[in-house]
């Protein structure tokens, strides 16, 4: 297995974990992601982190890629 | 509140949802026409970031009492998000020191897809929907 394969496998694992958490929220086994975001947005300190991550995603994928 | 008032609130809510959806689709369609690494793309991202920051950061802290399930779910999301960020950071440093082919970042892997206008539109729409989710009460 090459370094490239290991790197890509890591992203696939993280993506699968995200999908698993989303499905677990929809099926009622965990709290829905919307409630988690609401909880994070309730406090200013975590709100800043959430907005920063969202802004970074927009910058990274929609303005500068690669 | 009377039955009439309830009806009016529901109507206002529907109008707000429709207006948000129409605005999101229009903005995403226009923004997806911008090319990466250009001033219009920077502005198209900067405007929603400015609006969300201005609206969300002015709000005071809300009193919340998270239950055990919410705390557990939040911890799981935090672990997954942190793992993803660390893996991306590792790939980024690998890209700088070893090479992009051996250690591609997620943006390098997604770049070919994001050049496609339809995918770019969907990416813009999802990002803007997330913005709406962040500022809605």
The rounded distance, in Å, linking the Cα atoms of B72 and B67 is: 9
Check residue B91 and give its pLDDT: 93
Question: Is pLDDT of B27 > 90?
Answer: yes
List pLDDT tens digits, range B56-106: 988 888 777 778 899 999 999 999 999 999 999 999 999 888 888 889 998
The torsion of the CA quartet A21, A24, A25, A27, rounded to 10 degrees, works out to 160
Q: Which pLDDT band holds residue B37 (cuts at 50, 70, 90)? A: confident
The rounded distance, in Å, linking the Cα atoms of B131 and B27 is: 12
Check residue A66 and give its pLDDT: 52
The rounded distance, in Å, linking the Cα atoms of B48 and B44 is: 7
Q: Which pLDDT band holds residue B107 (cuts at 50, 70, 90)? A: confident
The torsion of the CA quartet A54, A57, A59, A62, rounded to 10 degrees, works out to -120
Mean pLDDT of A10-27: 96
* Mutant choice from B106, B116, B130, B132 vs A, greatest count of A C-beta within 10 A: B106
The rounded distance, in Å, linking the Cα atoms of B131 and A57 is: 11
- Per the CB < 8 Å rule, is A10 touching B87? yes
The owner of tokens 């939040």 is B74
Q: Which pLDDT band holds residue B42 (cuts at 50, 70, 90)? A: very high
Check residue B9 and give its pLDDT: 83
The rounded distance, in Å, linking the Cα atoms of A65 and B108 is: 7
Q: What are the chain A neighbours of B66 within 8 Å (beta carbons)?
A: 39
Is residue B133 packed enough to be buried (19+ CB in 10 Å), middle (13-18) or exposed (0-12)? middle
> B14: which 2 tokens?
């529907």
Check residue B130 and give its pLDDT: 92
Residue A60: which of B62, B94, B107 has the nearest Cβ?
B107
């Amino acid at each position: 297995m090459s370094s490239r394969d290991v790197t890509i496998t890591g992203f696939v694992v993280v993506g699968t974990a995200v999908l698993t958490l989303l499905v677990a929220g929809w099926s009622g086994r965990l709290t829905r992601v919307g409630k988690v975001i609401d909880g994070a947005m309730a406090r200013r300190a975590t709100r800043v982190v959430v907005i920063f991550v969202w802004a970074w995603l927009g910058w990274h994928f929609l303005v500068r890629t690669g | 509140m009377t039955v009439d008032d309830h009806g009016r609130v529901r109507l206002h809510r529907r109008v707000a949802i429709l207006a948000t959806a129409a605005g999101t689709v229009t903005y995403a369609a226009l923004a997806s026409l911008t090319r990466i690494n250009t001033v219009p793309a920077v502005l198209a991202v900067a405007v929603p970031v400015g609006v969300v920051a201005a609206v969300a950061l002015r709000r005071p802290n809300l009193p919340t009492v998270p239950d055990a399930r919410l705390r557990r779910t939040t911890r799981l999301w935090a672990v997954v998000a942190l793992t993803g960020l660390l893996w991306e950071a590792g790939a980024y440093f690998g890209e700088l020191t070893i090479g992009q082919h051996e250690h591609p970042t997620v943006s390098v892997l997604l770049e070919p897809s994001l050049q496609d206008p339809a995918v770019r539109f969907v990416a813009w729409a999802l990002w803007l929907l997330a913005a709406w989710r962040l500022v809605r009460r």
